[in-house]
Structure 1
């Protein structure tokens, strides 16, 4: 029993107890879990799941410009990422309204262009290591400014979700009713969508140092999609998504520490394992649905 306890301590607790960088990575990952995963649930409700992927690529040129001007300065890269993400979303909306292209098509074209430009800028100014760090992140390398950024974004996101929860729910389930109600009060209904997109962008930017610009969307979407398989009610989905993201974050950090694997992809891989388990055993998954099917009588 003593040996089992010692093994559990060394494997699960000692890395966080002994090393400050592990504790910073843990706090940053948990903050992203409770902040980004609920936004993923709203994205799935709006059938905009791929929007998060598009926006996480769209922030790259802004991050690259911040890197070119100020080096590995987190505030500069974060500000550039926010501006670039919002600009790409706005331009895609303008293109869809001014041309025959739908918004998803224009957004796909914009984010591919943004990804290419961002990679070229970083490759021209920095080293291969800088490019890999920005694209795939390093949760184990989160410093105090990065931790403050993630914690601040998570706090603002949770407070905003709590304050405007009813509006976000209405905009997801019945946008026509929200538009009519907003018009009667003299406000503009598109404000809700822009506010929501801003939350998505700042969360993706907050996650780029921990998970990288390519991986940040994984902690937002994979737990959210899994949560829909477990619950029908929205509050339960929000809690489940945050819990799955937190579990994936902790497991990914431990595996990354013990096996010396990249932390960002490892965390997303753990979220993927939870997603596969949800596909198999959740109430909306394959096995329960298979058992519900009526058996043919010979």
Structure 2
């Protein structure tokens, strides 16, 4: 048991940094994913994860694989896409989901071309899929800062975020904070995707945000409870994925997301609101 579970994290510094970074991302990304899911914006998170690629690619072209330039570039382009899609949907006939899809497809294509233009296939794989085992102290500090900002924003604006999530029209009718809170939420999404990009790349960073949130929906109806359950699932996925990666010699990022996917499937079947529970409840009603 010791050799299988604890020894990799005690013996190797890169495993320790990977675990700390993954746990910080789990605590930060999972609650944001719950709000995205409840807003029925799950695919928006996926679109935004691709949208940060051109900014990260520009940072890569100018400074190489350095954390700060790629992060600032991804953050700038991610916010630009989020704001741009909102402006287009508000002043034209096109809905926000279609606008977001168009923006993210363009961003993904531009980003891949930019990285491929000056980098190698290894650089492209690093940007697209990340490398959680290669996290350094600078990346950990950035992830910790993003997690701290997320906790602060959730603590201060929790009630407004819940209200804007469940009934945005009501919030806008009784308060002027609806639009600012919506923008704040988009900023939190982009920030956490940028943080996840350091470990999981642009293609997989949304996985740690959405899969635990989707799994938590099968265990609770309350927003606060779903957030805590999602954090626990994300943390378990990070730990299990890193161990799976270490023992089976698998890529660490996909191993983490596949572990989260396994927990999601288990939640579908065995959750309090899952398939088996509903099937037994329906059978009990028919018997009665």
- Kindly report structure 1 stretches of 4+ aligned residues shifted beyond 2 Å: 180-183, 294-297
Counterparts of 1:260 and 1:159 in 2: how far apart (Å)? 37
Q: Which TM-score applies when normalising by structure 2?
A: 0.97
Which of the numbers 267, 283, 290 marks the counterpart of 2:272?
283
Q: State the match for 2:224 in structure 1.
A: 235
Question: Does the alignment pair 1:254 with 2:247?
Answer: no
Q: State the match for 1:4 in structure 2.
A: none
Displacement of 1:99 in angstroms is 2.1
Matched length: 286
Q: Deviations over 1:56-80 (max 9, x none)?
A: 0000000000100111110000000
Q: State the match for 2:68 in structure 1.
A: 75
Q: State the match for 1:59 in structure 2.
A: 52
Q: Which TM-score applies when normalising by structure 1?
A: 0.94
Counterparts of 2:11 and 2:110 in 1: how far apart (Å)? 41
1:293 is paired with a residue whose SS is helix
Which of the numbers 116, 128, 132 marks the counterpart of 1:135?
128
Counterparts of 2:125 and 2:240 in 1: how far apart (Å)? 22
Matches for 1:1-298 after TM superposition, within 5 Å: 8-183=1-176, 188-294=177-283
Displacement of 1:180 in angstroms is 2.6
Counterparts of 2:69 and 2:134 in 1: how far apart (Å)? 18
Q: CA RMSD in A?
A: 1.1
1:241 is paired with a residue whose SS is helix
Counterparts of 2:238 and 2:166 in 1: how far apart (Å)? 30
2:25 is paired with a residue whose SS is helix
Counterparts of 1:72 and 1:45 in 2: how far apart (Å)? 35
1:22 is paired with a residue whose SS is helix
Counterparts of 1:142 and 1:181 in 2: how far apart (Å)? 45
Displacement of 1:117 in angstroms is 0.5
Counterparts of 2:89 and 2:173 in 1: how far apart (Å)? 23
1:17 is paired with a residue whose SS is helix
Displacement of 1:233 in angstroms is 1.1
Q: Deviations over 1:197-218 (max 9, x none)?
A: 0011010001112111100000
Counterparts of 1:59 and 1:282 in 2: how far apart (Å)? 34
Q: Tell me which structure has the larger Cα radius of gyration.
A: 1
Displacement of 1:257 in angstroms is 1.2
Displacement of 1:153 in angstroms is 0.6
Counterparts of 2:222 and 2:87 in 1: how far apart (Å)? 34
1:284 is paired with a residue whose SS is coil
Counterparts of 2:138 and 2:105 in 1: how far apart (Å)? 30
Counterparts of 2:144 and 2:247 in 1: how far apart (Å)? 26
